Amino acid sequence: MDWTKAKNILIAALLVTNIVLLGAYVLRETRRADADNDATLRRILTEYNVFLETEMPRQPAPMAVLYVQPETEDGARVEKALEEQKPISNASREAMLDAANDILESCGFITENTKSPAQFETDGEKTLIRYRNIFDDIPIEESYIICTIEGGRVAALNRKWYTPLELHDKKGEIIGPTEALMQLLPEKPEEETIIIRGMELVYRVDPDRPGGESPVGDTALPAWKITDSKGSVVYIAAYAQ
């Protein structure tokens, strides 16, 4: 057998194979990079009349489901705390926040997830102080405490709260922001213009559920929260299917 000739043929064959494989790899990586490219995405979205006016979040790490306990309001305790509060000394935000924190403290509503500084909203004579529920740096959506300041005191306290219990021990891959935004497109009327002002990864307890009983335990699943310029919010289930 002519080994020299055989080696030459083998080298030639392997070189061709390597070139083909390398070409396929580079092509795929280029396409992937293109797809993830912010500019490319913005261009595609623009074609559908969707304009991105916010930073694109990064591709998140895999996440587990979060088991939560829906809290029921202890009306009597809240009433008592509101009755026993001291008047707010001045109309500064700090004073209002201190008063709201005092009420929450006396009701036992302050936990490690009750995030302050809270958001302030003004509604005529009223000032609303909104607290978010944040677990592991990820907000639990539609879980909040709103203190209404009116007439120099905390006039009302509105609370919808999910206490985080534990994370499941298995994590699932999360779709990237690009894939989440793409999922908006099929549902969108062609002529409608959407300006996206915010996009963040959240935990969400879907309000729709079977059965009529009040749950004592529920599950928050990862979701992409997309907010448009009108304040409308869309949630996209974030687990990769």
Residue ranges in contact with other proteins by CB under 8 A: 3-4, 7-8, 10-11, 14-15, 17-18, 21-22, 24-25, 28, 62, 64-65, 67, 168, 170-173, 206, 208-211, 213-219, 221, 237, 239-241
67 Cα distance to chain centroid: 16
d(CA 105, CA 78): 11
Preceding amide of 189 cis, omega within 30: no
d(CA 145, CA 7): 75
- CB nearer other proteins, residue 64 or residue 234: 64
Preceding amide of 117 cis, omega within 30: yes
- CB nearer other proteins, residue 103 or residue 182: 182
Distances in Å between the alpha carbon of 192 and those of 56, 210, 222, 235? 22, 33, 27, 18
Distance in Å, CB of 21 to other proteins, minimum: 4
Distance in Å, CB of 78 to other proteins, minimum: 21
41 Cα distance to chain centroid: 20
d(CA 106, CA 86): 12
- CB nearer other proteins, residue 45 or residue 201: 201
Distance in Å, CB of 67 to other proteins, minimum: 7
- CB nearer other proteins, residue 66 or residue 147: 66
Distance in Å, CB of 241 to other proteins, minimum: 6
Amino acid of residue 116? S
Which of 144, 160, 141 lies closest to 225 in space, CA to CA? 141
Distance in Å, CB of 205 to other proteins, minimum: 8
- CB nearer other proteins, residue 24 or residue 91: 24
